[in-house]
């Protein structure tokens, strides 16, 4: 494990601020979205962006790639998209001497930031190819395994409307995403700012805020941040409480949740909390970091039942109630805070 | 961990103990209030008068338990660290510093430094605030108000504070008891010392009594103690001794002897040698009869008289003389004992009267109600011929002449709560039939038939002003048809249609003495019967 130094942490915090500021020049009024994406980047966790078209999801990914100076690819997922269209394929090539041989032509997945646009429109086979690469951070084509470049971050989008002709991601594949970020429509003020920036003829530039090496070190340092045991207990309690059959499940969980979070949800919360602490320049994780990370880390991992669908209950409501119900570990002494 | 942070955590621990004490106290204050209130309520509603003490003990125990609990509270470093960082909003820094304390790790050192910096400036009072639990305090306030209310109210059913009248009445009774003690001292009977001690102590306690109930209880206790001091065989012994005295007074053992029995025995012992054989034989029979009459009530004297009779039978005049001397001494001792026991009984009755007076003073309504409601009597009688009569003060009486009479009487009513019932049926032969009722106050209504032969005044052994007895001893002969010749309302103290009991007293005495010696009467009934005849005898004397 990398050796984390306090002075490095201060620098990383400043770099993170610069990245957020740089991306914020392009993406107006979405600080949480930018923060969550940056956390996903530092924790090397893929992010599923859910929102209606036109909210700047593609611009977000582009801005990030420009801010940290990394490669960026965008794949528009459609029903006829094949796995080879993503991971690449062997093609017959002829050299100068006229010999023909198969040559691997890399797909768009060989990049640092991959925007998988409308991922739920591709067939499950194609989705599975992508998700395997996300998990393994490598692809195998024609018996040859090829590692993906680091950092490697997939930002997938899916449209919550127009579900006809789509292939909703299976739960197991959803679990591969560290975060699911809901992109909310902009408010009037934000929209005004967007209009000012995008209708003036010149799109704001995104300055380079960090080089690839620095970002890679930040990614490597993130897991090294200390987290106290009682916070791990806290995370465990939260995840345990999402299980509707568990003793600690809250009434809404028992009523609306069919399946609770997997251990990956707990891992995602801890890593995201560490990344958030690093961005804040803190030397350790706090319970606030846990609570901040919980909704994005858990909302796509709760499988809701029919009752929730019928009553329009969203997982965010259940998670919010969970965070208010599950107690943070504290002294069991009357009168203490 | 640095000394700075260690000291900080120590102060945090002390503060946590205080916070625990405050929170726990507030948590259980309403419960404590309820328990204390319950204790006071029990004391208020029941005779249990230690409620305040019990409530105080519970409160003290509560405080002690809480103090002990706060001192015994185990507070780990983690507890103190977590409490402090939560109270200060220090973002988990103390608990993380506690866990990551590797001095060689730069990040750990930085975390420690940050924790130390916060600890250096933080106040434990800010870190561990002590909050007021308003809901609990409000509940306790309500309960406390109720508790104070119950505490200041006098116990339910208790007597109010002594009024000046009651205080004066108690004081008067105490004075009377002291005068009674003085009279007993002058009487100089065997039991004087015991009675005087009891009376003087009672007078002193009465003066310090705070309530009427307490004074009445003191009197009742004293009565009980005097009653317990009385010899259960007293009545039969007294009957025997006095019966012997009366017998010998009526029929002396020798002519010209002194009247009292002891003197007669002594004179006889000295003059045995002067008696002739027939006189000795007659004396032997007389002594045997006397011995038999004393067998039930005075076995010792009976034995001495029997021994004297046996000695005479065997011609042992010296032995007979010794036995007669012993009998004289025994008779004298018996009389002294009887007087002592009588003094006990009279003192007990005097205290009973005092108790009734005091009870009537304390609750005049009650006395009036009882006196009017229970103290009335009505009598009916039929007689034939002359000499029929009937009267009553408190009771009913019926009698018929011509050798048959029935009487029944009830008398009740005294100032206060005393009551007495005497009933009986006596076959009459024209000379006696009747009953008597005892009581005080009370109105009596009497109707009389026939001609009044005679009447005796009423004797009141305890308090002539308040306690009365009526004696209807009979009707002096009569036969033939009778008619109602008049009715009269008679107060208790003055009955009508009474005859001089001196006519029938000797026979009554003998019958009663025999009955007391032979019948297995309960002591309480013996007391009544004995008292009855004692009064008759004293009045006759």
Neighbours of B49 (CB within 10 A): 11
Mean of pLDDT values over B178-206: 84
Task: Using DSSP bridges, classify how beta strands A47-50 and A179-182 pair: parallel, antiparallel or unpaired.
Answer: parallel
Helices marked H in B122-211 — which ranges? 124-127, 134-152, 164-187, 192-207
**Residue B270 near residue B256, CB atoms below 8 Å:** no
Mean of pLDDT values over B62-85: 90
Provide the chain B residues 83-122 that lie in CB contact (below 8 A) with chain A. Answer: 83, 86-87, 91-93, 95-96, 99-100, 106-111, 114
Highest mean pLDDT among A25-34, A316-325, B410-419: A316-325
Query: If residue B530 lies in a helix (H) or strand (E), which one and from where to where?
Result: helix B523-540
CB proximity B9 to A under 8 Å:
no
Interface probe for A, chosen from B12, B92, B126 (most Cβ of A below 10 Å), is: B92
Crossing angle between the packed helical segments A212-221 and A31-42, to the nearest 10 degrees: 80
Q: Dmax over Cα atoms in chain A, in whole Å?
A: 86
Nearest CA in chain A to B14: A336
pLDDT, tens only, A49-74: 988 777 788 888 889 988 998 888 88
Least confident of A259-268, B124-133, B237-246: B237-246
- Distance (Å, rounded) from C-alpha A38 to C-alpha A329? 29
pLDDT, tens only, A269-286: 999 999 999 999 888 899
Average pLDDT of chain B, as a whole number = 71
- Distance (Å, rounded) from C-alpha B449 to C-alpha B388? 6
Residues in chain A: 337
**Nearest residue to A293 (alpha-carbon basis) of A171, A217, A156, A180:** A180
Nearest to A226 among B20, B75, B96 (CB): B96
Please, which pLDDT band fits residue B132 given cuts at 50, 70 and 90?
confident
**8 Å CB contact of B111 and A331:** no
Nearest to B92 among A225, A286, A337 (CB): A286
**Nearest residue to A257 (alpha-carbon basis) of A317, A196, A183:** A317
- pTM beyond 0.80, yes or no: no
Tokens 């317990």 locate to: B228
Nearest CA in chain B to A333: B20
**8 Å CB contact of B107 and A283:** yes
**Residue B41 near residue B147, CB atoms below 8 Å:** no
Least confident of A204-218, B154-168, B453-467: B453-467
**8 Å CB contact of A285 and B92:** yes
**8 Å CB contact of A228 and B130:** no
**Residue B482 near residue B399, CB atoms below 8 Å:** no
Higher pLDDT, B315 or A16: A16
Higher pLDDT, B381 or B201: B201
Highest mean pLDDT among A43-47, A52-56, B280-284: A43-47
Chain A residues closer than 8 Å to B109 by CB: 6
**8 Å CB contact of A335 and B114:** no
**Residue B124 near residue B11, CB atoms below 8 Å:** yes
**8 Å CB contact of A286 and B111:** no
B133 conformational bin, left if phi > 0, alpha if psi -120 to 50, beta if neither:
beta
Interface of A with B (CB under 8 A): 4-6, 9, 224-231, 282-288, 329-331, 333-337
Residue B383 is predicted with a pLDDT of 37
Predicted confidence (pLDDT) at residue B379 exceeds the cutoff of 50: no
**8 Å CB contact of B107 and A231:** no
Report the half-sphere exposure of B177 (CA within 13 A, side-chain side): 33
Mean of pLDDT values over A4-19: 87
User: Residue B227, class by beta-carbon neighbours within 10 Å (0-12 exposed, 13-18 middle, 19+ buried)?
Assistant: middle
Q: Which residues share a beta bridge with A88?
A: A106
Q: What is the ipTM of this complex?
A: 0.79
Residue B496 is predicted with a pLDDT of 42
Helices marked H in B89-133 — which ranges? 93-99, 106-121, 124-127
Residue B159 is predicted with a pLDDT of 52
**8 Å CB contact of B110 and A283:** yes
Predicted confidence (pLDDT) at residue A215 exceeds the cutoff of 70: yes
- What end-to-end distance do the CA atoms of chain A give, in Å? 36
Predicted confidence (pLDDT) at residue B124 exceeds the cutoff of 70: yes
Residue B459 is predicted with a pLDDT of 39
Please, which pLDDT band fits residue B394 given cuts at 50, 70 and 90?
very low
């Amino acid at each position: 494990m990398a050796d984390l130094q306090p002075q490095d942490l201060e620098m990383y915090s400043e770099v993170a601020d610069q990245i957020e500021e740089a991306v914020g020049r392009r993406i107006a009024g979405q600080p949480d979205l930018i923060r969550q994406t940056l956390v996903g980047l530092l924790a090397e966790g893929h992010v599923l962006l859910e929102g209606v078209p036109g909210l700047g999801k593609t611009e977000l990914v582009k801005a990030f790639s420009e801010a940290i100076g990394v490669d960026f690819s965008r794949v528009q997922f459609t029903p006829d998209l094949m796995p080879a269209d993503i991971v690449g394929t062997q093609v017959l090539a002829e050299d100068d001497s006229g010999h023909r041989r198969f040559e691997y032509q890399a797909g768009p997945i060989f990049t640092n930031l991959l925007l998988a646009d409308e991922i739920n429109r591709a067939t499950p086979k194609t989705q599975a190819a992508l998700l395997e690469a996300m998990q393994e951070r490598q692809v195998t084509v024609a018996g040859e395994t090829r590692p993906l470049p680091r950092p490697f971050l997939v930002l997938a989008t899916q449209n919550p409307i127009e579900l006809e002709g789509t292939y909703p991601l299976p739960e197991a594949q959803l679990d591969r995403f560290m975060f699911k970020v809901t992109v909310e429509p902009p408010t009037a003020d934000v929209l005004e700012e967007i209009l000012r920036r995008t209708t003036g003829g010149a799109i704001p530039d995104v300055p380079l805020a960090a080089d690839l090496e620095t970002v890679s070190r930040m990614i490597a340092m993130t897991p090294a941040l200390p987290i106290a045991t009682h916070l791990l207990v806290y995370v465990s309690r939260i995840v345990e409480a999402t299980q509707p059959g568990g003793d600690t499940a809250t009434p809404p969980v028992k009523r609306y949740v069919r399946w609770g979070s997997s251990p990956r949800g707990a891992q995602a919360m801890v890593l995201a909390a560490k990344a958030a602490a690093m961005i804040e320049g803190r030397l350790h994780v706090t319970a606030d970091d846990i609570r901040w990370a919980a909704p994005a880390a858990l909302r796509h991992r709760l499988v809701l039942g029919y009752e929730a669908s019928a009553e329009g209950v969203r997982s965010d409501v259940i998670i919010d109630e969970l965070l208010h119900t599950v107690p943070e570990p504290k002294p069991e002494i009357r009168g203490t805070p | 961990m640095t000394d700075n942070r260690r000291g900080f955590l120590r102060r945090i621990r002390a503060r946590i103990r205080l916070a625990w004490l405050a929170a726990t106290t507030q948590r259980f204050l309403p419960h404590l209030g309820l328990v204390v209130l319950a204790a006071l309520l029990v004391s208020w509603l029941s005779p249990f008068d230690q409620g305040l003490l019990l409530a105080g003990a519970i409160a003290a125990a509560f405080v002690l338990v809480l103090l002990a609990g706060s001192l015994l509270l185990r507070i780990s470093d983690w507890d103190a660290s977590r409490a402090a960082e939560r109270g200060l909003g220090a973002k988990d820094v103390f608990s993380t510093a506690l866990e990551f304390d590797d001095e060689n790790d730069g990040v750990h050192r930085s975390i420690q430094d940050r924790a130390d910096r916060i600890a250096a400036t933080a106040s434990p009072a800010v870190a561990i605030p002590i909050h007021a639990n308003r809901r609990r305090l409000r509940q306790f306030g309500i309960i406390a108000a109720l508790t104070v209310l119950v505490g200041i109210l006098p116990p339910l059913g208790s007597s109010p504070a002594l009024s000046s009248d009651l205080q004066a009445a108690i004081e008067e009774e105490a004075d009377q008891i002291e005068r009674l003690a003085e009279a007993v001292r002058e009487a100089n009977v065997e039991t004087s010392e015991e009675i005087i001690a009891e009376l003087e102590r009672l007078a002193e306690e009465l003066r310090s009594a705070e309530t009427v109930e307490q004074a009445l209880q003191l009197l009742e206790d004293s009565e009980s103690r005097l009653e317990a001091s009385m010899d259960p065989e007293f009545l039969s012994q007294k009957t025997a001794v006095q019966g012997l005295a009366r017998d010998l007074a009526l029929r002396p053992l020798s002519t010209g002897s002194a009247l009292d029995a002891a003197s007669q025995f002594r004179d006889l012992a000295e003059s045995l040698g002067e008696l002739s054989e027939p006189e000795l034989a007659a004396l032997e029979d007389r002594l045997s009869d006397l011995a038999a009459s004393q067998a039930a009530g005075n076995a010792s004297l009976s034995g001495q008289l029997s021994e004297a009779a046996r000695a005479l039978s065997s011609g042992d005049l010296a032995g007979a003389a010794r036995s007669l001397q012993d009998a004289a001494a025994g008779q004298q001792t018996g009389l002294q004992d009887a007087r002592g026991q009588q003094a006990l009984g009279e003192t007990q009755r005097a205290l009973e009267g005092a108790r009734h007076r005091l009870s009537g003073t304390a609750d005049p309504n009650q006395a009036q109600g009882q006196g009017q409601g229970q103290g009335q009597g009505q009598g009916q009688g039929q007689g034939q011929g002359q000499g029929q009569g009937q009267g009553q003060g408190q009771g009913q009486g019926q009698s018929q002449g011509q050798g048959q009479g029935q009487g029944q009487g009830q008398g009740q009513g005294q100032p206060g709560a005393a009551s007495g019932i005497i009933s009986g049926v006596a076959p009459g032969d024209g000379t006696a039939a009747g009953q008597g009722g005892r009581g005080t106050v009370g109105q009596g209504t009497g109707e009389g038939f026939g001609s009044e032969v005679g009447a005796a005044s009423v004797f009141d052994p305890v308090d002539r002003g308040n306690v009365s007895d009526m004696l209807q001893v009979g009707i002096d002969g009569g036969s033939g048809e009778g008619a109602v010749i008049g009715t009269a309302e008679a107060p208790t103290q003055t009955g009508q249609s009474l005859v001089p009991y001196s006519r029938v007293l000797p026979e009554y005495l003998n019958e009663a003495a025999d009955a007391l010696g032979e019948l297995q009467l309960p002591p309480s009934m013996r007391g009544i019967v004995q008292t009855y005849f004692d009064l008759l005898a004293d009045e006759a004397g």
